[in-house]
A and B are shown apart, each in its own frame.
Chain A
Amino acid sequence: MNRVSGATGANGSGGDLLRIEGLKKYFPIRNAWKRRIGWLRALDDVSLTVAKGEILGVVGESGCGKSTLGKTVMGIHRPSGGRVVFEGNDITDTTPYEARSLRRDLQYTYQDPGASLDPRWKIGRSLDEPLVIHTNLDRAARRAAVRGILEAVGLPEGHLDLYPHEISGGQQRRVGLARILTLQPTLVVLDEPTSGLDVSVQATILNLFLDLQKQFDLTYVFISHDLAVVRMICDRVAVMYLGKVVELGRTEQVFDRPRHPYTQSLLAAIPQIGKGRITETFWLEGEPPDPGNLPSGCRFRTRCPRAEPRCADAVPPLVEHVAGQADACLLSAGG
């Protein structure tokens, strides 16, 4: 832990809301006869902390384990190893009864809120349901709570009587968010919350996240592949590649001076209007290796332009070479 304290423990205040220590999640790979032929290491020894009130971005390409991270923290996946500590309590192995009260404070939004709303339920009923399960409020109090939350996410009251297919994708996200906020959680894991939205709608949804964060004193883990969005709204960012955190630090530091070659290539790939065109400047070749059959040592070495023989020998640890920014690259130790 102290190895990466500055980058992982936010601001040294000790106010960590969520602490993840050496978290692992391995999925079995089975052949046609259901015999296990290997492990897919979706999360491999991931450690990070989230301070109260901050927005931690988790970025990476598909298959890097960022959604698995969110789901394992939530208890949707059972971890293969490591600990998740939330508000000082180890929640790695909770009984279903304990898990229920925990879920009030720890909430997760799915990538596609349209699919997580029951198509045969009116919006009002979907919003009422979490209150029925988690609280002892009577009908009138629940109604008042639902109305309040609907207003907070910027939807008209008339929407309570609509079905999910009658509202737009942006509005479905608002409903999904309202559904979570009715329980007044402290930490919300947002899994690709703006994917599939048009940019003009995405902008209003992002502003809504920021408003709600202030209004309800929320902490976000913001999982996204969209680096431009992450740069806009996150305080700190964790970059993942094939189940490992390869770089972790304050957003502006990571984006302005990325140290890990993978972060550098990821940033070089984002289209930036008015800057050099990536069709002329992009340099990364190749595709990620098969996650069921990972290279030894640093997992990025097969694509890394700076790879040396020693990169194959050991898995580079996440080390803080610069205050507030840790990276897992052997070569960055020297300079």
Chain B
Amino acid sequence: MDGLLAVTDLEVGFATESGLARVLDHVNFRIGRGEIVGLVGESGCGKTTLARAILGVLPANSARIGSGAIDFEGRNLLDEDTASLADDVRGRQITFVPQDPFSSFNPVFTIGAQIDELMKWKSPAAEHGGGMRRYPRARRRADRERVLELLRTVQLPDPEAILRKYPHEVSGGQRQRLMIALALLPEPKLIIADEPTTALDVTIQAQILKLLRRLATDRRVSVLFTTHDLGTAYEICDRITVMYAGQEVESAPSDEFFAAPRHVYTTRLLQSLPSREHGISGIPGQIPGLVEPPSGCRFHPRCDSASAICRAGRPGVTVVGPDHLVRCYHPVEGGAGEAAA
């Protein structure tokens, strides 16, 4: 597949009171053009940190980027200067849909005023180069038309009225539709959606997933979709990458991923999902702390198949199928049925 974004060997730590938390441990990750990739993992696995690293919004005072590269259309985002990133990449070529759409709006301005402010800087017609400029009236009028059209596309009822409302006056589902519309407005190449449906009810979640899938396909936008919920990932993603405690462990096309998972952690995670066929089985133990993480494969303390080599060093990437990568010394055998069950 035609590559859009490739993260190679990225290492990110956070300075904490008890020492450096190794939140991303030499992570590799990529997204093709027009592809929806799910970044799946439990809390503390580093999925949000990876998303933020790509956006370039890691907290400057505590984050330590050790090594690695984030290659976006041939440019390494880690080497670019912050001004050009802010002007050209963030909010234009890469946009963001947050988990909680409420706290992302300013409560004291109308939605329309906040969209105007965004369009002043980031509309596709806006010049590059920043600076305090006025907002030409002709462009404002053209932008307003685009905004209304897009709000209709995301199926918001009565878009003109919504622009006059304050954020608290619209429902959670509508706010998330607005966020998706805002993320699409600058005509980006990549949308980073960080758990966009976690705060929503299940019927609203289904509507939002359906909408996001349709818009991404129609406009050929790539989506990085982080979630803790394998079910949600199944519904929307073309390919899935699983992370555990700061390491990516498996990556495969969605159908293959659910039919024949190969990493021990992935199979155990799938078994943790409530299902009538196999009952419920959790994974014993806890997610490790990241200040002094386990050596080698970080899953080894909770893994039944772990052996001495798992503790000694992190397994390399093994290609086990078309586009199916796994980092495990003892991958589960590929007999699809029993692995998925």
Is the Cβ of A199 less than 8 Å from the Cβ of B230? yes
Contacts A271-B234, A277-B235, A287-B204 given; does A199 touch B209 at CB 8 Å = no
Is the Cβ of B203 less than 8 Å from the Cβ of A269? yes
Cβ of B87 under 8 Å from chain A: no
| Chain B positions 161-179 with a Cβ under 8 Å from a chain A Cβ | 171, 173-174
Interface of B is mostly: helix
Which residues on A sit within 8 Å (CB–CB) of B269? Answer: 199-200
Taking the closest CB of chain A, its distance from the CB of B257, in whole angstroms, is 10
Cβ of A168 under 8 Å from chain B: yes
Tell me, in angstroms, the Cα distance from A170 to B287 when the chains sit together: 11
Is the Cβ of A231 less than 8 Å from the Cβ of B207? no
Is the Cβ of A228 less than 8 Å from the Cβ of B207? no
Tell me, in angstroms, the Cα distance from A168 to B286 when the chains sit together: 9
Is the Cβ of B174 less than 8 Å from the Cβ of A287? yes
Which residues on B sit within 8 Å (CB–CB) of A170? Answer: 286
Is the Cβ of A279 less than 8 Å from the Cβ of B174? no
Taking the closest CB of chain A, its distance from the CB of B267, in whole angstroms, is 12
Is the Cβ of B280 less than 8 Å from the Cβ of A271? no
0 or 1 for each of B280-297: is its CB under 8 Å from A? (1 = yes): 111110110000000000
From B174, B207, B276, B281, contact of A285 by CB (8 A): B207
Cβ of A282 under 8 Å from chain B: yes
Tell me, in angstroms, the Cα distance from A270 to B229 when the chains sit together: 11
Is the Cβ of B282 less than 8 Å from the Cβ of A203? yes
Closest to B340 in A: A274
| Chain B positions 87-123 with a Cβ under 8 Å from a chain A Cβ | none
Tell me, in angstroms, the Cα distance from A268 to B232 when the chains sit together: 13
Which residues on A sit within 8 Å (CB–CB) of B231? Answer: 228, 270-273
Contacts A198-B42, A227-B202, A272-B231 given; does A278 touch B209 at CB 8 Å = yes
Interface of A is mostly: helix
Is the Cβ of B171 less than 8 Å from the Cβ of A287? yes
Is the Cβ of B201 less than 8 Å from the Cβ of A62? yes
Which residues on A sit within 8 Å (CB–CB) of B214? Answer: 279
From B173, B204, B234, B272, contact of A200 by CB (8 A): B272
Which residues on B sit within 8 Å (CB–CB) of A226? Answer: 274
Is the Cβ of A198 less than 8 Å from the Cβ of B43? yes
Cβ of A212 under 8 Å from chain B: no
Interface size grouping (class) on chain B:
35 or more
Cβ of A204 under 8 Å from chain B: yes
Which residues on B sit within 8 Å (CB–CB) of A277? Answer: 234-236
Cβ of B213 under 8 Å from chain A: yes
Which residues on A sit within 8 Å (CB–CB) of B229? Answer: 199, 271
From B236, B280, B286, contact of A203 by CB (8 A): B280
Cβ of A332 under 8 Å from chain B: no
Tell me, in angstroms, the Cα distance from A274 to B273 when the chains sit together: 13
Contacts A271-B231, A279-B236 given; does A203 touch B274 at CB 8 Å = yes
Is the Cβ of B272 less than 8 Å from the Cβ of A225? no
Cβ of A266 under 8 Å from chain B: yes
Cβ of B205 under 8 Å from chain A: yes
Which B residues lie at the A interface, using CB under 8 A?
A: 42-43, 171, 173-174, 201-207, 209-210, 213-214, 228-232, 234-236, 258-259, 268-276, 279-284, 286-287, 340
17 contacts between A and B (CB under 8 A): A198-B228, A199-B228, A199-B273, A200-B269, A200-B282, A228-B273, A232-B275, A271-B234, A272-B231, A272-B234, A277-B235, A277-B236, A279-B209, A282-B207, A284-B206, A284-B207, A287-B173
Which A residues lie at the B interface, using CB under 8 A?
A: 61-62, 168, 170, 198-207, 225-229, 231-233, 265-266, 268-274, 277-280, 282, 284-285, 287
The 5 closest A-B pairs by CB, nearest first: A271-B231, A204-B282, A203-B282, A61-B201, A269-B206
Extra 11 A-B pairs, beta carbons < 8 Å, given A61-B203, A168-B286, A280-B210:
A203-B272, A207-B280, A228-B273, A231-B274, A268-B206, A269-B203, A270-B202, A271-B235, A272-B234, A284-B203, A287-B171
